Amino acid sequence: MPTAPASSLELRGVSRRFGGREVLSDISLTIPPGRITCLLGESGCGKSTLLRIVSGVDRPDNGTILMNGAPIVGPGHFVEPEQRRIGFMFQDYALFPHLSVAENLAFGLRHLSRPDQGRRLAEVVDRIGLGHLTGRYPHSLSGGEQQRVALARALAPQPAVLLMDEPFSNLDQGLRERVRRETLAILRKIGTSAIIVTHDPQEALAVGDLVVLMRAGRIEQAGTPFEIYDRPASPYAAEFMGPCNRLTGIWSQGRIETPIGTFPAALDLPDGALALACIRPQALSIGPDGHGISARVVAKTFMGESEQIDILVHPLAETLRMHSHVRIPMSIGEKVSLQLNGAQIHVFADDNRRIDTILPGPE
């Protein structure tokens, strides 16, 4: 299957309202060509609505969308979905049950002549490895096979941009990871620009070249997986991308003072102001009592690859959670010493504004 020219998308001030409720508010975003962009967020944040607007299934109330610099949506301008060269792969795959795999794949090629249809069909079947499935019907396929057929059908017309709404959510965990790897390999080999909607932060980090975290119809943060995990723009972003221990502290002379340590950061706060430290569970470790901050083990949960341990540190009202990939011999109720192992701490003003990211080193 020949590689389709990759296309960039630019969204400028896109907004959408339903019944007086603003579902999307002033979304501005550039989708890089030939890359995979993940729209990430909890249910109802607007990510699927944004996908429908890009595809042309829905229209924004305000804003402009450009493909390779040319408007496809804007004031007085609307390019019909079938003319956008944008493919859409649905969450439930939406395969036609009465059509064979070959007929499903050919459905989007009706604009081509019979010989061209045959050539394109052969190309996509060979590229995605569906030769043994072409005569079968959707009901006889496994979940992974249905997903591959749906992907092939979306790619057959050679879209410049492929939209995928929760494409792996219907698969079991083990199968999901394998199918995801296969799908990514195909998309990267072809070089198609893709936008994938997901609610799973781990999936977004594993899949996306660009991760766009959405919250209540707005973009909370956009960046590479490393940027959005290592340098979250807000407490919400920090906690959405992975569990955090939240500690409120006092800002004094260039440091946040917390019950488990005092840490420097480049903040613009007056002395005495409240600040917030978000500490990931893997940043904490424990050892025998007497070699750090006194604490007590209150719960342990074995998770296979790691162990989750809840510890109580005086005078904190809530426990701190840590993750360890080595076996911890301490028992529940045992006194231990809390230590910080050098992973990042994210520091914010207490008004939820991002302040800084620091490397911990209790002082």
Structural domain ending residue among the three candidates 230, 259, 289: 230
**8 Å CB contact between 295 and 338:** yes
Q: Is the pLDDT of residue 289 over 60?
A: yes
Number of compact structural domains in the chain = 2
Lowest model confidence (mean pLDDT) among 74-78, 207-211, 286-290, 330-334:
286-290
Report the C-alpha gap between 260 and 262 in whole angstroms: 7
pLDDT digits (tens, 9 = 90+) for 242-273: 999 999 999 998 888 998 888 777 778 899 99
Residues 161 and 91 in one domain: yes
Residues 31 and 155 in one domain: yes
Eight-class DSSP state of 3? P
Q: Determine the pLDDT at residue 2.
A: 47
Q: CATH number for the domain including 344?
A: 2.40.50.140
Report the C-alpha gap between 232 and 348 in whole angstroms: 10
Q: Is the pLDDT of residue 355 over 80?
A: no
**CB pairs under 8 A, 24+ apart, for 177-184?**
178/144, 179/144, 179/147, 179/148, 180/206, 180/207, 182/148, 183/147, 183/148, 183/151, 184/36
C-alpha Rg value of the chain to the nearest Å = 25
Cα–Cα distances (Å) from 74 to 35, 46, 89, in that order, read 24, 19, 24
Highest averaged pLDDT of the listed ranges 81-85, 196-200, 277-281: 196-200
* Mean pLDDT calculated for residue range 338-353: 76
* Mean pLDDT calculated for residue range 90-96: 86
Amino acid at 283: A
* Mean pLDDT calculated for residue range 306-328: 91
More confident residue, 149 or 255: 149
Residue written as tokens 């550039």? 30
Lowest model confidence (mean pLDDT) among 25-34, 76-85, 148-157, 169-178:
169-178
Q: Is the pLDDT of residue 361 over 50?
A: no
Residues 182 and 295 in one domain: no
* Mean pLDDT calculated for residue range 56-67: 95
Q: Give domain status of residue 236, yes or no.
A: no
Length of the chain counted residue by residue = 363
Q: Determine the pLDDT at residue 357.
A: 52
Q: Give domain status of residue 197, yes or no.
A: yes
Report the C-alpha gap between 38 and 279 in whole angstroms: 25
Q: Determine the pLDDT at residue 72.
A: 95
**8 Å CB contact between 275 and 256:** yes
More confident residue, 291 or 168: 168
The contacts of residue 185 (CB under 8 Å, 6+ apart) are: none
Q: Is the pLDDT of residue 363 over 50?
A: no
Report the C-alpha gap between 176 and 184 in whole angstroms: 12
More confident residue, 287 or 201: 201
**pLDDT-based confidence at residue 170 (cuts at 50, 70, 90):** confident
Residues 67 and 133 in one domain: yes
Domain range enclosing 93: 9-230
Structural domain ending residue among the three candidates 210, 230, 250: 230
Q: Is the pLDDT of residue 138 over 90?
A: yes
Residues 183 and 308 in one domain: no
Q: Determine the pLDDT at residue 341.
A: 73
- pTM assigned to the model: 0.89
Where are the extended beta strands (E) located within 68-217? 70-74, 77-78, 86-89, 161-165, 193-198, 210-215
Residues 156 and 24 in one domain: yes
Q: How far separated are the first and last CA of the chain, in Å rounded?
A: 60
Percent of residues, the chain, with pLDDT higher than 90: 59
More confident residue, 292 or 124: 124
